[in-house]
Structure 1
Amino acid sequence: MTSPWAVLARVVLVLAVVGSVVAIARLDDERWGEHLRARFVYGLPWGSFLTVGFVLAVYLVVQGGLTSWGNPVSLPFRAWSYRYPLGMVVAPFAHVGPSHLVGNLVGTLALAPLAEYAWGHYPPTRDRGRGSAVASAHSHDSRLERPLARILAVPAAVVAVGLFTAVFSVGPIIGFSGVVFAFAGFTLVRYPLATVVAFAASGVIQQVYVALRNPVVEAGASGGGYGLPWWATVAIQAHALGLLTGVVVGIAVFYRRERLPSAGRLWLGTLVFAIGQSLWAVYWFRGNGQFVLFRALGVALVFALAFLVAASVATPGRVRGVRRVRRVVGIERRAGATMVLLLALAVLAAPAVPVNLTTTAATGTALAQDDGSAVGTMDRIHVRDYTIYYAENVTNRVVSVVDVSAFGESTTVNASGVIVESGQRSLWTTGVEESRLAFAGCATVGVGGLGWRESVHVSRTGWKAIGGGHAYKVRFGQGNGSRFAYLSGPATADATVENRNVSVVPRRAGFGVVVSRANETVDRVKLPANGTTASAGGLRFNRTGGDLFVAADGTRVRVASRETYR
């Protein structure tokens, strides 16, 4: 139930935002309304609104966000392969969750109107006396120059750029951020510093949204949590691809209008934007949740990118007496830099072709251990065309799709956790990382397609041997039933009691305790229930709460503790 304080806080926030905007509009001498009406029909960026509505509709309707706002269907809507057209088409407009969606929509609201303002709803006509472009609301040489056509050109360009980034992005990308970066690239070519300010303003929009959703927050000390490095969740290649695409389109549009900024302003704007949006975060995946960040290389690449963009659109000098020569040299220099920019775009996009032409497949395996219980994958769940199972240290079929090794890194990496695959969709992914399941103890894997979805619950229980590893088992729950998905190997405590080792072993029915000497099993017994004892191999075991103790000749040692999850 919403508290009165939360309601009051929301009202105060709305009044503060609206009052501040209205007051500053009255204090400022700039006639913003006239400027906007000169560029937009009725002074509004209709193309940007259509774009936001389209992306929101994909989330609500196609991904099922209307019925499950916080947990949309996302797996089938990634760009897995060229052999799976549905993913390629939907991926650039789909999102993995509400925070992902809101972040991209906020970026769109900050940058798309600026890009649409630079484009204009009215066709530009050249004022030869000043060499500038001005808006003409009444002269339309063709249907393509009519305001409605120019408004619709915005969402049409969004779809085209989105499909381009999906087709030429490496890996199964999902999200609208590639198009958001294309908006940024387009506006950088016309308004470099305004682009930086606009994206900074997106933080204000984001904070207002968060404050409206959670006006009052209570929190205490936290013991930490599981999570990947923030830079390991960013599709850097797709972002750079979108940015360069926007720059190229901007050059094509604004070069004809002769409305290009100075090299210095464009260099500074591109540099500040790229650094602020973490395009320097070049990283590689080593498998099993391990990553490496090449920070210095990434920062160097950003400086090179800023120079390349600035050189591609820089206007020639205007020194008297040599203006014509400088202009010819400047045009040649700009043409050469533009060709290099196009080459960089091609190089950035090329690796996606062999990766996206390849399909993936994998199988789980089961091994046997000396007491006859299985170690490894126990069972799989089939949900239509999906196969779901748990496995550890299997080849990552997405990263390893092309075998490449360089600078000590390799594409042959392993994965551990809940594996989801579908040959029909060319889909292979780690639905839940082993480390995440070990931290949380449970998770849900959602699968589906157009018009349907289904969930599989995953849970883990286990014991940690003191000074040793973990012995655990994983179960899948579907509907009202459940089944074993995985049994790990034994976990042996570091302590030696009367020249004997103690190991905890997972079984289908509970856990067992194995007593061994010199790698030979001496005895085994079922792990005792809380408050009870059991004996094996001349040792007496006692369980107190979540701790297992062993006693012999007056010595009592803790050898294992039950896993706890957050």
Structure 2
Amino acid sequence: MELPGAVTVQRVALLVAFVLSVVAVYLADRPSGRWARALRRRFLFGVPWGSVVTVVGVLAVYLFVQGGLQHWYRPLTIPFRAWSYFYPLGVVTAAFAHNGPGHLVGNLVATAAFAPLAEYAWGHFPRGRGTTSFGSWRTNPYVRAFVVFPAAVFVVGLLTAAFALGPIIGFSGVVFAFAGFALVNYPFSTVVALVASRVVRVVYNAVQTPQLTASGHPAYVTPWWADIAIQGHAFGLFLGVLLGLAVVRNRAPEARPSALRLWTGTILFGVQQSMWAIYWYRGGETYVLYRAVGVALVALLAVVVTVTVVGSDRVALRDTLGGAFAVRPWQAGAACLILVAAVISGPAVPYNLYTANDDDLPGAEIDVRDYEVTYAENVTNGMTAAFEISALGETTAVKTAGVIVRSRDRGIWTTAVTKGRLAFDGQVPVLVGGPGWRETVFAVRDGWVATHGDTAYRVFLSHRGTARVVYTSDPARAGPVVGGRNISIDPAPQGYYVRVERDNESVTTRLPAENGTATLDGLTFVREERKLFVEYGETRLRIAKRERYE
């Protein structure tokens, strides 16, 4: 009889531990149906059906629209981003599509944590006295659970995509709207839900990988805060807060959360969710983080939200012409929230009115239906060069380098793989396509690193078994001078060459094959596996080596 492995034992032990924990809590609390009755007071049959429909819908987009069912780890993403208003498909799908399984699971777990709280605050059964649940479609619990709530989620998703600054993808803007709605109604429960979602992620990762062995190794990473769609998150949060305000302000003052609880909950949520991570893309894979400004803005946000929710109904400001105009504290707070939401979303309107330019792409390209794929360096981003915005000393007209994908029909122009990423990995697949189809173009780099010099390299694009060189770098000159001669490695579409320069004259020869030799201008070049040596008299130096990739 074969005994289960250590990994299986650890998974079982983890699940047993959690089951025993739940049973222990149940026996200690002995709810006697109290939990179910509390849920049934607000939910149809005690189930947050709107949240369930939302989770199923987002999962369905990943599986059937993006192709995640057949390609779980490599979903199609480029055609489902919100590129511009001239590409409606992207605007409609962006909020519900995801980059990969980690992105998807993270947003679904957060949805399961925050959406039921928001749905509970709104409720399937109206709270107004004398209101009949089945009196109209507005109060019908089935309509509220299965139609109104999912429809509101869809609209919020469209808004977060339509007013996003840049080609966003992911449900996180809607997740933040759920959190904002829940936060103004149940601030501490929202913080608990935030912690609970982190716990679920840890448990999920522990079940997937019960035991992990790791060691130091090189990795290509960008700053973690540069991967946060902070503008989309903030806009979603403000939408949720404003929608939640309509619910919480209809309650009696004593039923609203206290100022301390709301301020504390907002601060904890904002800091934990990195709402302070305000950054700017400078170009060339360089980012600027304005940490102090971001933390200050989170503190101000907490104050405004608190005043808006718990502010008095007494008039705080009245005009001098007979009181025709009066402002209450909570109204001033709400106006401030609306103004900030407009400021956050406003820049996205002119940005999304632009599309991919029609200029010729630099270098050779591969065509895949309506897509053009190429590689270039030090070119202006085709989606941002159409207009100029400057703020805090930064600009949107940035230079970029890497694998470029463009579709004139879809208004797409993007650096799908950066130069640094390709130099690190050596080969990266680029997925293009649309609803019902997908194609893969492989970007491949090879190169030679000159001793004490730069790297000479080429970039290939391969599609359906056909490869072509679309980019060659400048020659790389080696540091050592041998016999008064400078030595360079020259890349060319057909291969690599060795160049020897002396007295303003140069000669070249093809780089020797593996374990081969070549003689040029009195120098002998010897290639041993991945290294290239030069011999001159009794001198032997390594002059270059093949570039390695992780």
Please state which band the TM-score falls in when normalised by the shorter chain. over 0.9
1:15 aligned residue: 16
Shift of 1:119: 1.3
1:32 aligned residue: 35
Distance 1:156 1:246 in 2: 15
1:461 aligned residue: 446
Distance 1:158 1:560 in 2: 58
Distance 1:401 1:186 in 2: 37
Task: Give deviations 1:10-30, integer Å, cap 9, x for gaps.
Answer: 322222222211221221255
1:304 to 300, 306, 309: 300
Distance 1:311 1:285 in 2: 34
1:158 aligned residue: 153
Distance 2:507 2:260 in 1: 78
1:553 aligned residue: 537
Shift of 1:314: 1.8
- Unaligned stretches of 5+ in structure 2? 319-324
Structure-2 change in CA distance of 1:399 and 1:294 (3 Å): farther
Given that residues 315 and 327 in structure 2 are in contact (C-alpha distance below 8 angstroms), is that contact kept between their aligned partners in structure 1? Answer: no
Task: Give deviations 1:436-470, integer Å, cap 9, x for gaps.
Answer: 11011101000010111110111111001122111
Shift of 1:88: 0.3
Counterparts in 2 of 1:416-435, with a 5 A limit? 416-435=401-420
Given that residues 364 and 391 in structure 1 are in contact (C-alpha distance below 8 angstroms), is that contact kept between their aligned partners in structure 2? Answer: no
Structure-2 change in CA distance of 1:90 and 1:555 (3 Å): same
Shift of 1:155: 1.0
Structure-2 change in CA distance of 1:25 and 1:398 (3 Å): farther
**Which has the larger displacement, 116-125 or 190-199?**
116-125
1:283 to 267, 279, 291: 279
Q: Secondary structure at the match of 2:479?
A: strand
2:237 to 243, 260, 277: 243
Task: Give deviations 1:497-530, integer Å, cap 9, x for gaps.
Answer: 2222111011223211101136x34211111123
Given that residues 109 and 197 in structure 2 are in contact (C-alpha distance below 8 angstroms), is that contact kept between their aligned partners in structure 1? Answer: yes
Shift of 1:122: 1.1
Shift of 1:177: 0.2
Distance 2:4 2:198 in 1: 27
1:178 aligned residue: 173
TM-score normalised over the length of structure 1: 0.91
Shift of 1:57: 0.5
Given that residues 260 and 315 in structure 1 are in contact (C-alpha distance below 8 angstroms), is that contact kept between their aligned partners in structure 2? Answer: no
Given that residues 362 and 421 in structure 1 are in contact (C-alpha distance below 8 angstroms), is that contact kept between their aligned partners in structure 2? Answer: no
Matched, 1:117 2:120: yes
Matched, 1:213 2:213: no
1:190 aligned residue: 185
1:77 aligned residue: 80
Shift of 1:481: 1.7
Distance 1:39 1:526 in 2: 77
Q: Secondary structure at the match of 1:496?
A: coil
Distance 1:232 1:398 in 2: 19
Matched, 1:47 2:50: yes
Distance 2:315 2:282 in 1: 53
1:149 to 136, 143, 146: 143
**Which has the larger displacement, 350-359 or 2-11?**
2-11
Distance 1:37 1:172 in 2: 41
Distance 2:543 2:468 in 1: 29
Distance 2:326 2:301 in 1: 19
Given that residues 316 and 330 in structure 1 are in contact (C-alpha distance below 8 angstroms), is that contact kept between their aligned partners in structure 2? Answer: no
Structure-2 change in CA distance of 1:554 and 1:528 (3 Å): same
Distance 1:331 1:14 in 2: 55
1:94 aligned residue: 97
2:354 to 340, 358, 364: 358
Matched, 1:256 2:250: yes
Letter in 1 for 2:121: A
RMSD of aligned residue pairs (Cα, Å): 2.2
Shift of 1:257: 2.4
Letter in 2 for 1:14: L
Shift of 1:555: 2.1
Shift of 1:92: 0.5
Distance 2:151 2:285 in 1: 38
Q: Secondary structure at the match of 1:124?
A: coil
Distance 2:83 2:391 in 1: 25
Given that residues 287 and 413 in structure 1 are in contact (C-alpha distance below 8 angstroms), is that contact kept between their aligned partners in structure 2? Answer: yes
Shift of 1:126: 4.9
Q: Secondary structure at the match of 1:397?
A: coil
Task: Give deviations 1:397-446, integer Å, cap 9, x for gaps.
Answer: 23434312343322121111110000111101111111011011101000
Given that residues 36 and 43 in structure 1 are in contact (C-alpha distance below 8 angstroms), is that contact kept between their aligned partners in structure 2? Answer: yes
Q: Secondary structure at the match of 1:144?
A: coil
**Which has the larger displacement, 555-564 or 426-435?**
555-564
Q: Secondary structure at the match of 2:250?
A: helix
Shift of 1:327: 12
TM-score normalised over the length of structure 2: 0.93
Matched, 1:447 2:432: yes
Given that residues 72 and 101 in structure 2 are in contact (C-alpha distance below 8 angstroms), is that contact kept between their aligned partners in structure 1? Answer: yes
- Unaligned stretches of 5+ in structure 1? 128-135, 318-323, 367-376
2:506 aligned residue: 522
Counterparts in 2 of 1:498-517, with a 5 A limit? 498-517=483-502
Distance 1:561 1:23 in 2: 63
Shift of 1:193: 1.2
- The share of aligned pairs that are identical, in percent, is 49
Number of residue equivalences: 537
